Structure 1
Amino acid sequence: MGLFHAGVIWSGRSESTETCARRAETLFQQLGRCDPVYARWFECAYSRKHSLQLPFEPTYEAFLRFFKRRRYRLAKGVFSFDAWTGQEQRGRGGKLNFVCGSESPSYLNECLLYLPREEPAASRVLTVPVLREVVRAMVQAWDPNGCAIIADGDLAARKEMMDGHPCLGWLTYIAGGRGNVPPLPRQVHVEPMEDQGTLIILTQERFSLKNPEHVALARDTREQLVKAGLMPPLKK
């Protein structure tokens, strides 16, 4: 079973503690509607046993309290938070972390959600209908430059995201302010995401880096997005 994660990035944007708390509440509430695996959350700690002793309700008031703690502040007005869904199975299927409130290049505003690889959650979540809602949740919460569902083995895409650049995944959101999405290969599904931007879906079945047709489709799609100025060329 392949591991996927959903990631969003957004440019430097200083925001108040209250705004960051409201955005975090929106994210967790929307994720809770995507699948039952996101119905409960725990603060991350140094061990599973300790973390399971730290359940929390992801409310605006809770995040205001969290952001007052030193452990969740990277700098003045910059907040970092890690959460876990409490699954006992091996793997990181329920982990989420984010950094927000930063206008400094030293701290990238980002949010990373590790998607389940354990059954039965993986079969429920790793589908286009559910992942579409996961992307929508992250977009509504953070108003990012981009969002992508990335296979863990896609090292090039992961590096782009970690460097703060937009990247292409199984599902990809492109904010409207970045430009218009050009015509893409006919197999690729393109749809508006409300009034915020465009969602690109490479395949209706689960994307696989082991499938040559999927890899070729991703390559051709990316080439068109690079030509349109929506993706940076891959570094050689």
Structure 2
Amino acid sequence: MTVNPEPENYEDSYLAAAYWGPRKESPEECARRAATFLSGLADHDPLLAHWNKIPKPRGRGRKTPLMPPDLTMLTDAFRRGVNREPGGPAIERLGLTVGAYNDGARQDYASLSICCGGYAEGMSNLCLLTLPSQGAGAERLFTAPVLSGALRSMVLAWDPDWAVAMSRTHQDLDDQGDRGDVWLGWVTYFARARGVVPPLPAPVRIEPVEDKGTLIVLTPERFTVSDPEHVALSRRVRDLLSRAGLLKPLQPRG
């Protein structure tokens, strides 16, 4: 079987991603977090409920379902995902990587990339969910409740420093100029350790995620860069968050 790891058209696609700094974790610890994440993610849409491990070498091998999550299989997947030079020893400080794709048709294709357990200086661990770019499934996913739910699942599993859900066109707009390492998306999460979220203008919604941090939803309707009011709101909120010190680069946590 050949697996195409990414859809061809990214123009209108969305991503949800969580990032955290150096944190040494074993394959068993990464597997437990992944199981929690996959179980939580499945509650938000059928397209997010069926995942298969991307085989190595990439694109070749039999389908390996990840749902329902099995700790033994996930532990083995992370153990095999260690970084190494060809034929050389494992480079443990660079973490463990696992990729997955869903069972959707081509227009409903989604993928996951997880890097966990890295502790090299300045390293960023991540959980990246790439969503389909078009079709009925994409329309269901591109809503504030679903994207907020996906980020909540990431937060509760991975305990990241920050997380974001946004379109790639919004990402391109937000990534211009010297703006630090943190994007402000349609939905954005900040861990409590990063600071206090200041009062933000309507229609922005601020929601706690248990005792871990805060979720910020810019607009109840779909955020689009073609709407000047949306763009102006994003820039105003970014300025307020920057003044509050929430957009600083990742820092190691003890």
**Normalising by the residue count of structure 1, what TM-score does the alignment of the two structures yield?**
0.87
| d(CA) in 1 for partners of 2:176, 2:21 | 17
TM superposition outliers: structure 1 runs of 4+ over 4 Å:
156-160
- SS of the aligned residue for 1:98 comes to strand
Match runs of 1:1-236 below 5 Å? 2-45=12-55, 46-47=58-59, 50=60, 53-57=63-67, 58-69=69-80, 72-74=81-83, 75-76=91-92, 78-90=95-107, 93-105=109-121, 107-153=123-169, 154-155=171-172, 157=174, 165-232=181-248
Shift of 1:39: 1.8
**More divergent stretch after superposition (118-127 vs 218-227):** 118-127
Does the 8 Å CA contact 2:27/2:76 hold for their aligned counterparts? no
Cα-to-partner distance string for 1:165-205 (whole Å, 9 max, x where unaligned) = 33210001111111111111122111212211111100111
Deviation at 1:44, TM superposition (A): 1.8
SS in 2 for 1:117: coil
Listed one character per residue, the Cα deviations across residues 133-154 of structure 1 (whole Å, up to 9, x for unaligned) are: 1011000110000011121122
Contact 2:21/2:123 (8 A) holds in 1: no
* Cα distance change on mapping 1:124 and 1:184 into 2, 3 Å: same
Q: Offset of 1:132 from its aligned partner?
A: 1.5
Taking every aligned residue pair, what percent have the same amino acid on both sides? 38
Distance in 2 (alpha carbons) for counterparts of 1:98 and 1:158: 22
Deviation at 1:164, TM superposition (A): 8.9
Give the secondary structure class of the aligned counterpart of 1:34.
coil
Flag the 1:165–1:60 CA change in 2: closer, same or farther, 3 A: farther
**Alignment length, in residue pairs?**
226
For 1:86, give the aligned amino acid.
D
The separation in 2 between residues aligned to 1:158 and 1:55, in whole angstroms, is 35
CA RMSD of aligned residues (A): 2.4
Question: Structure 2 regions of 5+ residues with no counterpart?
Answer: 1-10, 84-90, 250-254
Unaligned regions of 5+ residues in structure 1, if any?
A: none
Supply the distance in 2 between the matched residues of 1:16 and 1:25 (Cα, whole angstroms).
Answer: 14
DSSP 3-state at the match of 2:79: coil
Q: Is the 8 A contact 1:9 1:164 kept in 2?
A: no
What is the CA distance between 1:224 and its match in structure 2? 0.2
Is the Cα contact below 8 Å between 2:107 and 2:133 reproduced in 1? no
